[in-house]
Homo-oligomer: A and B are copies of this chain.
């Protein structure tokens, strides 16, 4: 079994001295107040203060930093914008955080071949903005897209509302430059859709910082669709809404997005955003179609008919880009909106076969009732990617513990229905201990071997993804909400 933590004792003091000798003063954070920002990412349940943060400016900086870490046996945690929801950027107390947040430049753009090379710290929406004058955009659209970084999207293989039709980050990356945990600079991927040799680009994307640090990203750009139509359909029950989704898929319609909100989520969203969702509905579907005019028109007719056949009580069609934006604003701020109806909440992220949607939602409601807690559901229905939000009072230690157990039970429920522990938020520190519910010992061992192939010393983002006694033994009862979570300025998911 390859080690995931270094064998030799780390010498963090010697490493810190080497960092001070190598980098400019304004690139290093070592004071407790400055380090506080880096104690956690979007999953504020886990907090650890790192020894030192480096704000890298270049690939060369990252190489130098990684080499110092390997020299002194110190582990390092890569960090983008820190919006991840599974604790993937959680530091180690005797470790270093290597931030690429300052690396925000466009390095080149080739509109004819629809490619752009950027640094990893660029915000996801800034990538699309930089391509806009060419009529092009970058498709992955996590709800946090205004702040989350494209480097973080690569690390987590981020999705978003439109990945039903357009796929995940991995479907939109041509090539990346990576600093491996042994300090080499390698270029993964290239110009062919079918990569030559083992697909190291594919294995890196979604590896959550465990295989190295990405420093340049060549993204694939898409042509903006000519026509976009968006509707919100109300249903009495989530089951009816789920049947409408199944109908769409079995008719071969692939909408750009199919999002579902249940009654509690609609209520929170309306309280927070007044986006015009109907509070009386048991469930709402947001369905968006895009493409050429005639195609969208034809698919829209089928979509409307299928919603009505499945007993939609009302269908609201966006009449303008502004109305469309408002519908999406409501959906994309749904997580943050929970702060209006509950002092705290946990975001879960699981996947189930789409045909099991109604059944799993019923089982989640039963688990919530048994736990005496409320669960709101807002999710990517077309993908079967659930985001149950467990609401609780963080001032009540016992209820906090119960909420955490319920959230974990929901993720593991997804696995028992033939699904997955994570759709797009990653495993990180949060769900490593649930991995054995989904994978055999041989499966995990094979993954560990690939990890060790990149990182023989186990210094890159240790204690993530894989269950270890240290990690899983310490886990329960450690939830400590952070004030930011209660106000949740940025909707995610």
A interface residues, Cβ below 8 angstroms from B: 112-114, 157, 159, 163, 167-168, 170-171, 180, 184-188, 190-200, 202-203, 205-207, 210-211, 222-226, 246, 249-252, 291-295, 297-299, 351-355, 383-385, 418-424, 427, 435, 438-440, 442-443, 445-447, 449-454, 465-466
Contact = CB atoms under 8 A, between A and B. Distances in A.
Contacts of A384: 191
A464 to B, nearest CB: 10
A130 B291 CA distance: 32
Given A194-B206, A203-B198, A250-B223, A186 B294 contact: no
Give the copy number. Answer: 2
A465 B197 contact: yes
Contacts of A443: 186-188
Contact of A298 (B207, B294, B419, B438): B294
B194 A423 contact: yes
A112 B246 contact: yes
A226 B299 CA distance: 12
Contacts of A442: 180, 184-186
A244 B16 CA distance: 58
A297 B294 CA distance: 8
Contacts of A466: 197
A383 B192 CA distance: 8
A224 B250 CA distance: 10
Given A194-B157, A422-B194, A355 B203 contact: no
A440 B186 contact: yes
A192 B246 contact: no
A203 B200 contact: yes
Contacts of A168: 193-194
Contacts of A195: 157, 206, 420
Contact of A200 (B252, B291, B383, B447): B447
A440 B317 CA distance: 54
B191 A419 contact: yes
B453 A452 contact: yes
Give 7 nearest A-B pairs by CB, closest first. Answer: A295-B295, A202-B202, A192-B420, A223-B252, A449-B453, A294-B294, A453-B453
Nearest to A205: B199
Given A113-B353, A225-B252, A440-B186, A192 B291 contact: no
11 contacts: A157-B195, A159-B193, A185-B442, A193-B385, A194-B351, A198-B206, A198-B447, A295-B295, A446-B453, A450-B454, A452-B453
Contact of A190 (B202, B438, B440, B454): B438
B185 A167 contact: no
A31 B299 CA distance: 60
A461 B218 CA distance: 32
Contact of A159 (B159, B194, B198, B423): B194
Given A198-B447, A224-B252, A294-B295, 6 more contacts: A113-B353, A159-B194, A195-B206, A195-B420, A202-B203, A291-B295
Contacts of A427: 196-197
Nearest to A156: B194
